[in-house]
Structure 1
Amino acid sequence: MTHATPEAPADIPSPRRFIAHLDMDAFYASVELLRYPELRGLPVVIGGGRRHQPEPQPDGTRRFATLRDYAGRGVITTATYPARALGVHSGMGLMKAAALAPEAVLLPVDFDRYRHFSRLFKQAVVAIAPVMEDRGIDEIYLDLTEVPGAQDAVDGDPLGGVRAVGQRLKQAVHEATGLTCSVGVTPNKLLSKICSDLDKPDGLTLLMPDDIPARIWPLPASRINGIGPKASEKLARLGVRTIGELAAAELAWLVEHFGATYGAWLHAAAHGQDDRPVVTWREPKSLSRETTFERDLDPRQDKATLTLLFTRLCEQVAADLERKGYRGRTVAVKLRYADFHIVTRSVSLPEPTRDAQVIRLWAGRALKTAPLDQRLRLLGVRIDRLVTEADAAAAEAAPVPTSLPLFPGEP
């Protein structure tokens, strides 16, 4: 009796790693255009206060505020692509933007509406690619490696399967929200973040390591997420302006100028190297709300307005805690004065809480330790040392008074 010699098992190739970065296109502005479709194709800026709400007209149309009429020190939250073409961008002061685009429409921010659309697009995406890392209201990372069909070749295209997955993601977002997004798909998060911005709006960019010299290296070094303004300026002084020039720099030279850790990271990033996983959950360290005033407010003359705003911030923080299932143990307040000087004060609570009245009381105590002798531009409330509801179930806050004078002269 003879026995056949078993054959050695064939090597099974490892699946290629596909990481996607999905970024909504001009998210806040696009959400507003769903509400006001007559503004499509026009320069629109989001960032005005509530007094800039559109006014219904007798003929059924709406009258919109423009930057020409704006007076104040607010900043742009986002802008439509036609507005960006005029040199207007997020973070720019509205008065400066008014000089560049006086006829641009000005709309107030509506974060509740934006959060609603954020939930819609994320729910649509995870039905296709469940391994998702939430990076904010309008962007996410997705691991597409194990998504059915992603590893398949289609009509001779080795990336045809993952390309089809990318298109399905974009279609799902549009069907759920009526909005467009741009998607970058590469072997890692660093490259995908860059690629999602290459073909905006409504783009789908696939890039593999062999494509790095042609598509990534000509870009400014600042396009790498993690190279900020100061690092960009230092690189420019050293004669390095593009990612390709950074990739050509010797590792030892980068370490000499930027230190061992950051220098090594710069070298790896310029060559498209990044092994960070898609993290599906990250515990928040704190929750906060703040508001910048249209005009500076005086703690004495505007005490009633400030008190109402302060209470509202505490209520918003409490609502965020309840929605996310946390309680907090430290309450902090943030003040920015007319001269842009910032002061923060914090207090620790006896027990973790999510109760708005408790947060209001202790935030008020923190506020009373801060100087209130000059006008204010910004007021904020933050809660730290978060614990989950499950961990805090036995730690109920003791009864406390629900009102406390805050600003000078308040009864």
Structure 2
Amino acid sequence: MHSETISQSINIVHPVTLSHGKNAEVWDTDGKRYIDFVGGIGVLNLGHCHPRIVEAIRDQATRLTHYAFNAAPHTPYLELMDRLCAFIPVSYPVSGMLTNSGAEAAENALKIARGATGRTAVIAFDGGFHGRTLATLNLNGKVAPYKQKVGVLPGPVYHLPFPSQDNDVTCAEALKAMERLFSVEIDVNEVACFIVEPVQGEGGFLAMDAAFAQHLRAFCDEHGILLIADEIQSGFGRTGQRFAFSRLGIEPDLILLAKSIAGGVPLGAVVGRKSLLDNLPKGGLGGTYSGNPIACAAALATLDEMTDANLQAWGPRQEEAIVSRYQSWRERKVSPYLGRLTGVGAMRGIELANADGTPAAAQLTQLLALAREAGLLLMPSGKSRHIIRLLAPLTTEAVVLDEGLDIFEACLQKLT
């Protein structure tokens, strides 16, 4: 429950207190079991307490729990950056830095972009989410609740419509909006970077239009603008590939990582073109806890499990289970509120909508409570909080995934 000693500005989705978890299951302090389709909001692609990660954490804790890398390098940071940069599927030389979170990765990427281009303006997208720090709030394509009562934010930041077959914004419409932006709002020569999620997370698991992404890549190349891919939620196998940008047929200049990078231990990273990462003065990047040895050990164990063979097995298997079940629900008309299936791979959202297509936000709130009571934890998303985002661990056992989808179906049928 929400203690009086904790800020009331923190919103709690599920009023339960968790005690422990294993893979895709968690238990609360009353001993009640839940199937976890939240996964720590996309942090647990390998599930709760993965044995290999737990072993790596325990082993590292007996040798070195902390050292600030900018004071003296340590082995886990060095090993992880070598492995991580080799894991990035791009054609250019890669380097990077470790951070404590995704928001911190985004903040550092903005610094890198400014340093490399000498420009300050940033273009982001409607519905995007990049963090809760002051600069990343400015990037978010949504006011409530993140920007309310905060005051003037650092800028300048401009927003464009996010083109996706999941939200009915076409490539042509987004390109027309971009043309207007540079005709009316800002000189293209003042723009340091575009920042985009290949698949929006908070926005409702909306997959970016690949044709637009390729136009954007060419536009950035033409005008000396950096392209930043926020893979914080979509990375590390969630879409069936290492990273979601690969499906768009582009290579970003900088990539933001976090969430499932380290099995639940706080860690993030900015990786990308070595020439960009090296352009700030000595000391321009770093941080006391960034790249903590225990977090690095957990990330190394995570990469051990993130083989292409595993990803190609986990992602498609979960995608097939979700898509086939959704299609069955549609065919059988299990609920008048069942809307579209959004996203790609195992990164899927289920929209709740009224008969006229408007968001059924009240029914989603009802669904959260019904599912929780039945032993399934779900996570809302979307501009109107009307899309359930499915974030079960990729390692979820087939029988547990089916049980969770059975509960979901039963709760859909009860919506009023």
The TM-score with structure 2 as length reference comes to 0.25
Task: Between the two structures, name the one with larger relative contact order (CA 8 Å, sep ≥ 6).
Answer: 2
Instruction: Please report the TM-score for the alignment, with normalisation by the length of structure 1.
Output: 0.25
Q: Which has the larger radius of gyration?
A: 1
